[in-house]
Amino acid sequence: MIISNDKVVTIDYSLTDEEGELIDSSVGEEPLIYLHGHHGIIPGLEQALAGHRTGDKVEVSIPPEEGYGDWDEDLVEVVAKEDFDDPEDLEIGTQFETETDEGARLATVIDIEGEEVTVDLNHPLAGMTLNFDVTVLDVRDATAEELAHGHVHGEHGHEH
C-alpha cells in the first residue's frame, strides 16, 4: 500500500542536525505512527514520505520553513521572576508549557538576570535544517473513527 492521505503510517526514524548530531530516534524504541495528511508530522517529512510504501528507506533534509519554521526573535520575551510558581527552581534550559494568543507553546528559559527571566517561545528545533533517515514499517487504511477524530487509535496511537 502506498502512503497517501488518510493512511496510517508506521515509521522508524533517526533525526540529526546539520552537523550530523543525533537529535531524536525511534530506532530500538516505539515506532512513530501517524495519520498521513492530517498534520501529525512536520510538512516537509510528510511530503517526502508520500508515495512510499512498506520497506522503503527515505533520507531527506528538511529546511526550517518545511519543519518547525524560522527562528523568530519576536518570540523571545523577558518576564519577571515573580511570575513563576517556583522561581527558585528556574535555571537556564528549564522548559515549561505556557498559554499564548496562538494556544499552548513550549517555552525555554535562556537567561536569568536578577529578577528578570528571558524565555524563548520558538520551537526548540526552529531555524534548523532537519535530516531524517526513515524506514517505512507499515501502511494501512485508517478506520472511520480515526478519520473522524483526525488521529491514529489503538496500539501506540491515541486511546479514548
Domain encompassing residue 88: 73-120
Q: Output the pLDDT for position 136.
A: 98
For 48-101, the pLDDT digits (tens) are: 999 999 999 999 999 999 999 999 999 999 999 999 988 888 999 999 998 888
- Overall number of domains in the chain: 2
**Rounded Cα–Cα distance for residues 39 and 49 (Å):** 13
Mean pLDDT of the chain: 93
Is residue 97 situated within a structural domain?
yes
Does one domain contain both 41 and 55?
yes
Q: Is the pLDDT of residue 9 over 60?
A: yes
Q: Output the pLDDT for position 87.
A: 87
pLDDT confidence bin for 160, thresholds 50/70/90: very low
Instruction: Report the pLDDT averaged over residues 124-137.
Output: 97
Does one domain contain both 88 and 115?
yes
**Rounded Cα–Cα distance for residues 154 and 160 (Å):** 9
Does one domain contain both 85 and 48?
no
Does one domain contain both 102 and 86?
yes
Is residue 116 situated within a structural domain?
yes
Q: Is the pLDDT of residue 159 over 80?
A: no
Is residue 160 situated within a structural domain?
no
Q: Output the pLDDT for position 155.
A: 58
Is residue 155 situated within a structural domain?
no
% of the chain beyond a pLDDT of 90: 86
For 28-43, the pLDDT digits (tens) are: 999 999 999 999 999 9
List the beta strands (DSSP E) in 17-151: 22-25, 32-35, 57-62, 76-80, 95-100, 103-113, 116-120, 130-141
15 versus 160: the higher-pLDDT residue is: 15
**Rounded Cα–Cα distance for residues 60 and 14 (Å):** 11
For the record, the C-alpha cell of 43 comes out as 510538512
**Is residue 24 classed as helix, strand or coil in its secondary structure?**
strand
CATH of the domain at 37: 3.10.50.40
Does one domain contain both 63 and 80?
no
Is residue 14 situated within a structural domain?
yes
CATH of the domain at 77: 2.40.10.330
Q: Is the pLDDT of residue 134 over 90?
A: yes
